[in-house]
Amino acid sequence: MWRGNAWPATLLITGMVGYGLFVSLSMTTWEDYSRLFRDPVFLESIGISLYVAVSSTVLSVLIGAWLAGFFAKQTGWTAQVLAIPLFLPHLGAAYLAILYLSDLPVISPHEVNQFSIILTYLYKEIPFIFFYLLPVYRRLDHRYEELGLMLGLSRLKRFWHGKGVFLLFPVLEAAFIVFAFTLFAYEVPALLGVTYPKLIGVYTFDLYTQGDLSRQPEAFAISVLLTGILFLLLVIFTRTIRPLTERISKGRVE
Amino acid sequence: MIKQMTAIAATGLLLAGCASPAAPVQEKVLGSSYTSIEKDANATTVRMYMWGGDEGINAYIDEYVAPKVKKEHNITLKRVPIETADLIQKLRAEKKAGKETGVIDVIWINGDNFRNAKKDGLLYGEITKVLPNMKYVDPQAQGSDSGTPTDHLEAAWGKVQYTFHYDKASVANPPKDLQELKSWVKENPGKFTYPEVTDFTGNAFVRHVMYGLESKETLKDPKADFKKTWAYLNELKPYLWKEGKTYPKTLAQLDQLYAKGSVAFTMGFNERRAEQEVKSGTFPKETRPLVLTDGSIASTHFLSIPFNAPNPNGALVTINTLLSPDAQLKKFDGTYWGDGTSLDLTTVSSTEQEAFEDVPAAASTPKPATFDGKVRAELDPAFFDVIRKDWPERVAR
């Protein structure tokens, strides 16, 4: 794993997020948050965004992890093909969807089922998950599983002790990054989404820019809310799951 | 640790160091004579930020205006496409951050965007007072922008009427009013739609429905309940393109659907806008205009300069050039754009007047008499907001 100095990046990112959060909080009052929860358009938007973000995350993690597991045992250049989508920005991927999916039924852009958005995210995020997990898979020590076999552990237990504990945290890390991104992203849903309900990133941007700008506080409230929820998720991850997997992998707790 | 801190500080300095040289003082620019403004504008670069969703308009700027200002004033004109609402947002952020020298010199603006810009002090000042070509501009068009007094902050660039366009090959008997339009849509499911209301043109479509269905009293009160309008749009909805489950996000998307033949109608401000689209083969050959008897909203669009323009002299000269009779004539004829002139044609020379009259109208352009008795004034920007707020809940949902 990369062990370079993370301080400058950490400081810069914390500074930017912290300042953004501070500005957003100072622009909002309690009333804005309670108005959000009474706004049916917002609630539906958050619902549909969760549907898109959760499906994109789960599917890309499953497929990406499976591919990483498969290619970890292979040598050669085949896996590098998966790097191609990484060079294309999300905006470009969305245009690809418009170009190639427009005349197809069910998965064409601007359908209420949002399949085209999910497919675009899969196209972009599967390679991301793949390259994130590939080194983890390559470092896995197959002797753990052999040991399990020798000790007569069940298939499931062998997987958990041989691979699961080492994979759990990196998988959750990658999943968190994909989830946070797809939940609040703008370009892809702006190009491929439907008029109603709008995904939360698009709805927030509309509130922020449209008309007499009187609804800007609500846009700030949404971003505070989402940042808060994601931060909470992150804390739960690092506080509970990481110590757990570390303890297990060091063999202190069964 | 020290090393990293220095690196961060250096990055910060680098970012801060990008600021450009200060712009000339506003009082000095607007207080000087046009001749000296012209002299100061020589050999400068002007950045014009404008909505870029129409190829004809873009070509008019790039292929006609840019070479013209280069030749006449040695100005390099650069066009930057942007949504007008985003532009206002950018200027607001710059104002808040105290950025006194921005990057935008000329903006294209009207309606609620102008109201917002004026309210927040985002515009340069009384620019029209120094422009010699203002003497040609129609004072009526210049006076107010959708009910907001212009107060010399912007100069009228063009004047257009809202017009529908349809493909005669697939619409044999075009509807004459909103009721007939509804019947047509029901009989031809999937062949009609309008842009969603965050789009300038889509919002205006709803205002036309308001004009056609709501009483005069209701139309004076943006807080009224526009029941008839929402009911009408909901009746249309199941018969629209994609069963009304989604709408084109922008006029450009609606135009693409029309060009592909997915829908049989498109619409927009500017009665002549289909001319060059037909000529270039984008729109169907048999594109015809349609003005509903319920009325057509007249709209004026304007040019202005932001408060922190880096090159206000160049901006003033560019705007003055855009208001000249020859630039307006080129804008009016079908070569690029076909946009209605903002000039009062009685003030220009008789040869220029004749040239305007001699511009041929294509089959896609309505005869001037079509608008008799149908021209409606633009509604107050408060209506734009009401539509944006209520349409998603009461129609799109």
Q: What are phi and psi of B79, to 5 degrees?
A: -95, 130
Crossing angle of helices B178-187 and B227-236, rounded to 10°: 30
Residue B51: HSE in the Cβ half-sphere, 13 Å Cα cutoff: 20
Structure confidence at residue B270 (pLDDT)? 92
Chain B, 88-107: which have a CB under 8 Å from a chain A CB?
88-89, 92
Tens of pLDDT, residue by residue over B102-116, are 999 999 999 889 999
Provide the pLDDT for residue B14: 46
Concatenating the DSSP letter of every residue in B13-39 gives: HHHHTTPPPPPPPHHHHHHS-HHHHHH
Per-residue pLDDT tens digits for B157-185: 999 999 999 999 999 999 999 999 999 99
Nearest to B337 by CA among B288, B246, B275: B275
Residue ranges of the alpha helices (H) in B47-83? Answer: 55-59, 66-73
- Nearest CB neighbour to A212, from listed B112, B246, B392: B112
B79, B62 contact by CB (below 8 A): yes
Give the residue on A whose Cα is nearest the Cα of B87: A209
B28 touching A (Cβ < 8 Å): no
Residue A78's pLDDT is: 82
User: What are the chain B neighbours of A112 within 8 Å (beta carbons)?
Assistant: 245-246
CA distance A105 to chain B (A): 12
Contacts of B86 in chain A (CB under 8 A): 209
pLDDT value at residue B1: 45
**Closest in A40, A193, A196 to B396, CB measured:** A196
Question: Are residues B86 and A209, on separate chains, in Cβ contact within 8 Å?
Answer: yes
Is the model more confident about A7 or about B319?
A: B319
The DSSP letter of residue B192 is -
Chain A contact set for B112 (CB, 8 A): 211-212
- CA pseudo-torsion sign B88, B90, B96, B99: negative
| Spatial contact of B233 and B293, defined as CB atoms under 8 Å apart | no
CB contact under 8 Å between A211 and B115, yes or no, is: no
CA A28 to chain B, closest CA, distance in angstroms equals: 17
> Model confidence at A249, in pLDDT bands (50, 70, 90)?
low
Chain centre distance of CA B61: 14
pLDDT score recorded for residue A146 = 86
Spatial contact of B275 and B334, defined as CB atoms under 8 Å apart: yes
Nearest to B116 by CA among B152, B142, B91: B91
For residue B18, the model assigns a pLDDT of 46
| Closest Cβ–Cβ partner in B11, B116, B198 for A212 | B116
Q: What is the pLDDT of residue A160?
A: 85
Residues of A in contact with B249 (CB under 8 A): 190, 195
- Residue among B92, B247, B388 minimizing CB distance to A211: B388
A contacts of B385 (beta carbons < 8 Å): 211-212, 214
- In which band, very low, low, confident or very high, does the pLDDT at B322 lie, cut at 50, 70 and 90? very high
Separation between Cα atoms, residue B344 and residue B353, nearest integer Å: 10
- Number of Cα atoms under 13 Å in the Cβ half of residue A239: 6
What residues of B are in contact with residue A110 (Cβ under 8 Å)?
Answer: 242, 246
The pLDDT tens digits for B22-35 are 678 888 899 999 99
B208 has pLDDT over 80 = yes
Give the per-residue pLDDT at A248: 72
Please indicate whether, in this complex, the C-beta atoms of B246 and A208 are within 8 angstroms of each other.
Answer: no
The per-residue pLDDT for range A172-224, each reduced to its tens digit, is 999 999 999 999 999 999 999 999 899 999 999 988 887 777 888 999 999 99
For residue B389, the chain A residues in CB contact (below 8 A) are 211, 215
pLDDT tens per residue, range A105-131: 889 888 889 999 999 999 999 999 999
How far apart are alpha carbons B276 and A72 in whole angstroms?
57
Residue among B14, B146, B198 with most chain A CBs within 10 A, to mutate:
B198
Give chain A's mean pLDDT: 89
- Pick from B237, B303, B253, B322: which is nearest to B66 by CA? B322
A42-85: per-residue pLDDT in tens?
A: 999 999 999 999 999 999 999 999 999 999 888 878 888 899 99
For B41-58, what is the mean pLDDT? 94
| Alpha carbons B287 and B168: distance in angstroms, whole number | 6
Residue by residue, what is the 3-state secondary structure of A68-130?
HHHHHCCCCCHHHHHHHHHHCCHHHHHHHHHHHHCCCCCCCCCCCCCHHHHHHHHHHHHHHHH
Residues B381, A212: C-beta atoms closer than 8 Å: yes
Q: Which residues of B touch A5 (CB under 8 A)?
A: 4
Q: Which helix (H) or strand (E) element contains residue B89?
A: helix B84-96
As a whole number, mean pLDDT of residues B133-155 equals 94
**ipTM of the prediction greater than 0.85, yes or no:** no
| Tokens of residue B305, six digits | 């300069």
Are the Cβ atoms of A210 and B85 closer than 8 angstroms? Answer: yes
Chain A touched by B14 (CB under 8 Å): no
Q: How far is A191 from chain B (nearest CA, A)?
A: 8
Contact B249 A12 (CB under 8 A): no
Q: According to the model, what pLDDT value does residue A242 have?
A: 77
User: End-to-end CA distance of chain B, in Å?
Assistant: 54
* Percentage of chain A lying above the pLDDT 70 cut: 96
How far is B154 from B126, CA to CA, in rounded Å? 8
Packed helices B227-236 and B200-213: angle between N→C axes, nearest 10 degrees: 120
Helices A40-72 & A30-38 angle (0-180, nearest 10): 80
Residue B13 confidence (pLDDT) above 50: no
**Chain A interface includes B195 (CB < 8 A):** no
Mean pLDDT of B78-96: 92
Answer yes or no: are the C-beta atoms of B101 and B310 closer than 8 Å.
yes
- Kindly indicate the confidence band of residue A145, based on its pLDDT and cuts at 50, 70 and 90: confident
Question: What whole-number distance in Å separates Cα of residue A14 and Cα of residue B66?
Answer: 45
| Full-model pTM | 0.81
**Least Cα separation, residue A211 to chain B (angstroms):** 5
Contacts of A8 in chain B (CB under 8 A): 4, 7-8
Q: Tell me the pLDDT tens digit for each residue of B329-383.
A: 999 988 899 999 999 999 999 999 999 999 988 999 998 889 989 999 899 889 9
